Amino acid sequence: MFETIFVELFFYYTAMREDKYFLAGRAISVSLVHGGPAPRFLSPVLFASLVGGPNAACPTLKDVTDADLHEKLKKVSESSTLEELLRDTDPLLDYMTNTGCVRPLTTISD
């Protein structure tokens, strides 16, 4: 469910789709209610998102540890024409729909 490179854990899209973060949240909640320790294993970006809401986090490409998603996002970030951008965002359409990021792309700056 969690991906890690060093000692911090990062967001993993498949785990979100399968509600594993919800289940982990319930387990952490039970631990806290019964006097257990607070979690100290989340990446700063994921923690900021959980505490301050989605707008509080500013993830960068290096924060994405899902290899498939990282590669797709890298292609999008390297797009230099509108045609490349449209081609490179097509494989991300499902992900963008689930995260509420779908919008018409009319220029490269979009």
Helix, coil or strand: residue 10: strand
pLDDT averaged over the chain? 82
Contact between 10 and 3 under an 8 Å Cβ cutoff? The reply is yes
User: In this prediction, what percent of the chain has a pLDDT beyond 90?
Assistant: 21
Residues in the chain: 110
**In the chain, domain spans:** 3-62, 66-99
pLDDT-derived band at 62 (thresholds 50, 70, 90) equals: confident
pLDDT higher than threshold 60 for residue 7: no
Amino acid at 17: R
| Of 9-13, 80-84, 102-106, highest mean pLDDT | 80-84
Give me the residue label for tokens 């785990």: 15
Lowest mean pLDDT among 19-33, 39-53, 65-79: 39-53
Look at residue 3 in the predicted model and tell me its pLDDT: 52
